[in-house]
Structure 1
Amino acid sequence: MGEAAHSLLAAIGAPPPLARRMSDAATVATHYLVGHSALSRYQLRITADPGGVSLAVTDYIEPPSAGTPAWLAVSHAGHLEPAPAALDSLPARGDDDHGLDLHRTLDGHLRLAYRGSWAESKTTH
């Protein structure tokens, strides 16, 4: 997943520091899913907008007729909290990198998401 993320981001012209950070996030997220999910198929989703790039790796493979599941944020203490349902609505991180955000559905699907801004990639060496 990390190599796929890096290749895609390089192809769309993402700055190399951002592509590397997103690639690393995808790799870590995939390793987490391998260790914590009972499912054997994962999906990589990348979206770009004027503010930055959002990346998610999940074990939820969306059926054609289904809508987006209700994702709940998992706190550091392991509690479930309401989270934005759409990947595009993940908050930008600004200069403070907080790492991957873990989300779950009530039926146990996992999603790890990361958001990087175009602006922070220009200042990273």
Structure 2
Amino acid sequence: MSTTVQRGTMSPYAPDAPEQTPPYLSLTVETDRSPRTHTLTGEAAHSLLAAIGAPPPLARRLSDAATVAAHYLDGHSTQSRYRLHITADPGGVSLTVTDYTEPPSAGAPAWQPVSRASHPEPAPTALDLLPDRGNDAHGLDLHHTPDGHLRLACRSSWAEPKPTR
């Protein structure tokens, strides 16, 4: 397992986060495929989110999403490695689990969304913009590349959900 921190500061929920600097953090973890990859991916996501000071409900939701995404890759991918990527910014947290593990110098692949019926959809104008589902991180967006790589991703805001009656 390898970890890369690309740049940034702490989350707005970290006790020592500087107030004048907007938080931006990008974390990447790669792991070899194994019988427990989905569990390890979820645990890694939870640990990384807790380390940056994410509220516990957000960390749980996103770690559950990472577990589900890695479990999907276990059943639909033949690649030998998976990548978990977490990006935190002032608006929220994006989480991606993919079987595309090429180095950044290779450039971004041509991700295309897949419909709920597993049919390719027309490419949107901005492929890497994920819809912010507020506090509903359970809606994973599935994308694929023309050469067969898979990516499941979601985005959630920092705000904790309001209690419902």
Give the TM-score of the pair, scaled to structure 1: 0.88
- Over 3 Å counting, the alpha-carbon distance change for 1:115 and 1:13 in structure 2 is same
Larger Rg: 2
After TM superposition, the structure 1 = structure 2 runs for residues 19-34 of structure 1, keeping only pairs within 5 Å, are 19-34=59-74
Report deviation, 1:94.
2.4
**Any gaps of 5 or more consecutive residues in structure 1?**
none
Other-structure match for 1:75: 115
Report deviation, 1:64.
4.3
- Counterpart residue identity of residue 51, structure 1: G
Report deviation, 1:124.
5.8
Report the 3-state secondary structure (helix = DSSP H, G, I; strand = E; otherwise coil) of the residue aligned with 2:81.
coil
- 1:65 to 2:105 alignment: yes
- Over 3 Å counting, the alpha-carbon distance change for 1:43 and 1:98 in structure 2 is closer
Higher relative contact order (CA 8 A, sep 6+): 1
* Equivalent residues of 2:131, 2:154 under 8 A apart: no
Report deviation, 1:80.
1.3
- Counterpart residue identity of residue 127, structure 2: A
Report the 3-state secondary structure (helix = DSSP H, G, I; strand = E; otherwise coil) of the residue aligned with 2:105.
coil
Report deviation, 1:95.
5.2
Report deviation, 1:76.
1.0
After TM superposition, the structure 1 = structure 2 runs for residues 69-108 of structure 1, keeping only pairs within 5 Å, are 69-81=109-121, 82-83=123-124, 84-86=126-128, 89-94=129-134, 99-108=139-148
Could you give the per-residue CA deviations for residues 66-120 of structure 1, whole angstroms, max 9, x where no partner exists? 110010000012221215433xx2121125556111100010000000111112x
**Any gaps of 5 or more consecutive residues in structure 2?**
1-40
CA RMSD of aligned residues (A): 1.9
- Counterpart residue identity of residue 85, structure 2: R
User: Identity across aligned pairs (percent)?
Assistant: 72
Give the TM-score of the pair, scaled to structure 2: 0.68
Deviates more, 1:98-107 or 1:15-24: 98-107
